Amino acid sequence: MWSRLLHRRAVWLACVLALVSLQFARQFTAALQETQVFDEGLHLSAGYTILLTGDYRLNPEHPPLGRVLNALPLLFLKPDPKLDSQGWKEADAIAVGRDLLYHQQTLKPEQILLPARLVTIALTLVLALTMAFWMRARYGPPAALLAVFLVTLDPNLSAHGHYVTTDFIATLTCFLAVLAFDRMQRRGHPLDILWAGLALGAALVSKFSAVFLLPVFAVLWLLHRTPWRTTLLQLAGLILVSGLVVAVSYGPETLRSRHAPRLNDVVKKDTAIGYALRVGGRYLHLPAHPFFLGLNEMALHQKAGHPSYMLGMVRLHGTWSYFPFVFLVKTPLGALLLCLLALPLLRRFSRDLLVLAVPLGIYWVLCLTSGINIGVRHLLPVFPFTYALVAVLIARHSVQVYRKAAPALVGVACLVLVGESAYIAPHDIAFFNPAVGGPANGPKLLLDSNLDWGQDLGNLRRWLDARGRNDVCLAYFGSADEKYFRFQGWAIPANMHLRAGERPPCHLAAISVTLLEGVYHERAWYAWLRARQPLARIGWSIYVYDTTDVSEGRIPKESF
């Protein structure tokens, strides 16, 4: 009965629109409540100054498309970009971002940040609707609706789908590029080559990790067994159109790069990407365009690694187990149950699923070899492909394998997902599934942008105001302006300072859990707080402790 009902277009469309509307409501609520996360100021300032000046000096490790789109509403608000500040002169994107948001005469930071966040929220709606209509045309209404259900209720996509960062737009454009490439292969019309080139170019100027699409397309060409003449024509079209998109996206920088040194004179052969750029630059006489330089910076960052936290341990370089672990603990339990149900169905895998399986597999290889392990946000591109693949397998084959139990099994998994998603909203960034203890246990598992990215400073201020308290010492992991939120600037003393006799000038201590666990400093600093029970957890990312006994000197310094 349900299958026949979902094949009615009006019923199916109503369900899709209800899911999309629900996702919009939760994201809008979160966007209103949350303080800027760590990277939003730098991305927004970079996009805004690009629009005003054509200067790409701020944080060139990221390409421009998403940043420019997020900054478009600022052209109507006209905040002062602070181009005379020391931060701009030193190309300090975090400082310029803080000036842009908090040092305006007539605009509050919320008035600037919310319109920029609405752009990203609109992109999540595009992803959900694209998923719905493409899946319906390709795999049928039930599979399409299940995929949209998973995409719209996943807290990870909702969380990073309302921030001003490059993570979600890369997820969307990579998905669109694969869909456009698939259409080009199946139809072979010249107009499809144009759309595929535009989509590929958009992905490449959304985030440099989109280069994984190049081996994806190569594998899909081989598996499709396209005639070599057709392949060469399509390849030429993709290179030409995507190259034009990249050149136009960088605007004045593309023109200025004509006078830049040759690429092979600037890039070193320290990484595989650097080697490819050096060789390509030599034989093609390429200039040191900022796109190539940014791609090289990304590769160098991958090689150097980045401090990461997992299961109480801090590593300076990536480990292959990080992203599989992230997927297992950050993916909703209901979605994982559906993935488990789909595993036996892989025996019935068909060629039309290669368009989902190939990018999924290659991106996982990229993640397993990544040197930057800082959050589920770098894993986001796997979710649309995973959910689409799972939805198709379950819609097509679950009844044949699980027989009469299929509806009950799928229904229970979906209900579990609904419950998980409802429980965490609107604090989606802090989601951990119930099997690992939920967000309360999150600090023992993962930190940084998996849980604590500076988003709850405003929520902390509202919590304090509701209780008439301001006697708080603060250790905040984020880039928001603490003075704007009326904090006194009192620091929480570390263990060694307490042993030296120092006492905090306040009765409350509020600390971001990333700092509490010592991800970017010595873990021993705040051991005295970890030994206590928090008075409150603000949005799961800031813990508040009653430290009256310490501030009044009722605990001897030898105790620390």
Whose tokens are 């694209």? That residue is 130
Residues 6 or more apart whose CB falls under 8 angstroms from that of 452 comprise 430, 443, 477, 512, 513, 514, 541, 542
Cα distance between residue 216 and residue 435, in whole Å: 33
Q: Is 209 helix (H, G, I), strand (E, B) or coil?
A: helix
CB burial of residue 422 (10 Å; 0-12, 13-18, 19+): exposed
pLDDT tens digits for 396-424? 999 999 999 999 999 999 999 999 999 99
Which pLDDT value is given to residue 216?
Answer: 97
- In DSSP terms, 545 is beta-bridged to 509
pLDDT by residue (tens digit) across 187-244?
888 899 999 999 999 999 999 999 999 999 999 999 988 788 888 999 999 999 999 9
Secondary structure element (H or E) that encloses residue 313, with its range? strand 313-315
Q: Are 550 and 503 in contact (CB under 8 A)?
A: yes
The tokens describing 214, both together, are: 């190049």
What is the mean predicted confidence (pLDDT) over 505-529? 92
- Do 286 and 262 touch, CB atoms closer than 8 A? yes
The pLDDT tens digits of the residues spanning 326-344 come to: 999 999 999 999 999 999 9
Residues 88-102 have pLDDT tens digits of: 999 999 999 999 999
Record the pTM. 0.94
Average pLDDT of the residues in 369-395: 95
Count the Cβ atoms, other than its own, within 10 Å of residue 420.
Answer: 23
Beta bridge partners of 309: 314
CB 334 within 8 A of CB 416: yes
Res 5: pLDDT: 60
Q: What is the arithmetic mean of pLDDT over 118-134? A: 97
Lowest-pLDDT choice from 29-33, 123-127, 153-157, 546-550? 546-550
pLDDT category at 1 given cuts 50, 70, 90 is: very low
**Which letter does DSSP use for residue 262 in this model?**
B
Which of 113-117, 315-319, 374-378, 504-508 is most confident?
113-117
The one-letter amino acid at 390 = V
Taking the C-alpha atoms of residue 460 and residue 466, their distance in angstroms, rounded to an integer, is 10
User: Out of 92-96, 184-188, 256-260, 503-507, which region has the weakest mean confidence (pLDDT)?
Assistant: 256-260
**CA–CA dist 103, 557 (Å, integer):** 41
Compute CA 350 distance to the chain's CA centroid, rounded to the nearest angstrom.
31
Pairwise CA distance, residues 432 & 370, whole Å: 22
Q: What pLDDT is recorded for position 7?
A: 67
Q: Per-residue pLDDT for 295 more than 80?
A: yes
Question: How many residues would you count in the chain?
Answer: 560
